[in-house]
Amino acid sequence: MTILSGKARVSGITGWPVSHSRSPRLHGFWLERHRIDGAYLPLPIRPENWTIAIKGLVAAGFAGANVTIPHKVAAFEICDTVDESARRAGAVNTLVFNEGRITGSNTDGIGFLNNLRQHGVDPAAGPALLLGAGGSARAIAAVLLQLGVRVTVANRTRAKAEALAVDLPELAVIDWDQRHVAVSDHALVVNTTPLGMNGEGPLPVDLGHNRPAVADIVYVPLQTPLLADAKARGLIAVGGLGMLLHQAVPGFAAWFGLQPTVDDELRQFVAGDIPQR
């Protein structure tokens, strides 16, 4: 176990709730692996207390914090500066504190891309079909569009996908019911809805017999029904845990001064308390 000194760097995850979060386990693994004088804490904060709590963390000398549901939009507003990733995603998941100033970024998109790349999938290989139009779809659409990928969104509530396309005008929108036929026109199909998560039904989509790569950002369970279906058809299937691991890299590097790696040992450690299916 790492011994903390009086100079220890401190970060954590702010959310409400945060008891489900794997981020303390994930950052704790890297801190221990690299024997870093630092700590990463679960920070459950009610929405009405979030702004004052963040100001308290800044005053207390924290290095920064992660932000999860329901604070990602409030986090955008508290920042003195936000980078391009946060602007395009319209939300912040990573805060860095520096001499009283708060900088925000959104690492979900880059985490998604680096997870695909680690699985041998080139995200720019062809058009992408996103199922869902929530916060994570927005972050993923933004980075794919920046790579020059043609992106189509199908969402249960079409108006929400159209609202997304107002902010990201290159986005194409189709009806939710068209998702089955649209699969064959796309090189990558991505589930960004909670469907497939434990307690939810499976995502109903006909993957057909073409050969798109299929990515699911749900990671509880590790093997969702969508991923199982994709594998059974011989398609490349990329799970959501790697996105979680990769999105954590930039924050860890900024707070603790070391670029950590995402490898099998980390994956197995974090997966240790997640059901397989």
Q: Which residues are catalytic?
A: 72
244 binds ligand NAP (CB under 6 A): yes
Tokens representing 53?
Answer: 């709590």
Report the alpha-carbon distance of residue 187 to residue 183 in Å, rounded.
Answer: 8
Q: Which residue is nearest to ligand NAP (CB)?
A: 134
Q: How far is the CB of 139 from ligand NAP (least distance, A)?
A: 8
User: Binding ligand NAP by CB under 6 A: which of 10, 63, 86, 133?
Assistant: 133
17 binds ligand NAP (CB under 6 A): no
Report the alpha-carbon distance of residue 213 to residue 231 in Å, rounded.
Answer: 10
Tokens representing 14?
Answer: 């702010």
User: Binding ligand NAP by CB under 6 A: which of 82, 171, 218, 226?
Assistant: 218
**Angular region, 132: left φ>0, alpha ψ -120 to 50, beta rest:** left
Q: How far is the CB of 246 from ligand NAP (least distance, A)?
A: 8
User: Binding ligand NAP by CB under 6 A: which of 119, 156, 233, 267?
Assistant: 156
User: Binding ligand NAP by CB under 6 A: which of 24, 38, 90, 240?
Assistant: 240
109 binds ligand NAP (CB under 6 A): no
49 binds ligand NAP (CB under 6 A): no
The residues of the shown chain that bind ligand NAP, judged by CB under 6 A, are: 108, 132-137, 155-157, 160, 192-195, 197, 217-219, 240, 243-244, 247
